[in-house]
């Protein structure tokens, strides 16, 4: 997480970013599951691998947006799907899950 913050927020130069992974906390795991990117019982490694697949040059770039979605709208209880900016792409918000 520290390397991700240094690269993303403080623009510290790195030779590459492909080894800076997503920090798969509970918010990110919930968002990945509800978006249909990973299974509900996905391991930490599976969430990280999916982020690497989606953004191979800098998997950690997905960390902040997914965390914010999970923290603000895609809550564990009573998610606010109608105001989430992923609602059009989300199978859970569209009743497909």
pLDDT at residue 12, as a whole number: 87
If DSSP codes are grouped into helix, strand and coil, which group holds residue 51? helix
Show the domains of the chain with their CATH numbers.
2-83 (1.10.1670.10)
Q: What is the pLDDT of residue 63?
A: 94
Half-sphere exposure of 14 (CA within 13 A, CB side): 17
Helix pair 63-72, 26-34: axis angle to 10 deg: 90
Listed as ranges, residues in the chain with pLDDT below 50 are: none
Residue with tokens 């609602």, as numbered in its chain: 87
Place of tokens 């989606």: 54
What CA–CA distances, in Å, run from 97 to 6, 58, 79?
36, 29, 14
Rounded Cα–Cα distance for residues 67 and 30 (Å): 9
pLDDT tens, position by position, 11-21: 888 888 888 99
CB–CB of 30/70 below 8 Å?
Answer: yes
pLDDT given at position 3 = 86
Task: Check residue 10 and give its pLDDT.
Answer: 87
């Amino acid at each position: 997480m520290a390397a991700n913050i240094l690269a993303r927020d403080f623009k510290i130069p790195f030779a590459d970013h492909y080894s800076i992974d997503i920090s798969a906390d509970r918010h990110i795991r919930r968002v990945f599951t509800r978006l249909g990117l990973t299974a509900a019982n996905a391991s930490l490694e599976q969430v990280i691998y999916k982020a690497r697949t989606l953004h191979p040059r800098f998997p950690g770039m997905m960390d902040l947006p997914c965390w914010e979605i999970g923290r603000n709208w895609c809550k564990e209880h009573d998610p606010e799907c109608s105001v989430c900016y992923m609602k059009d792409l989300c199978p859970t918000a569209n009743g497909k899950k």
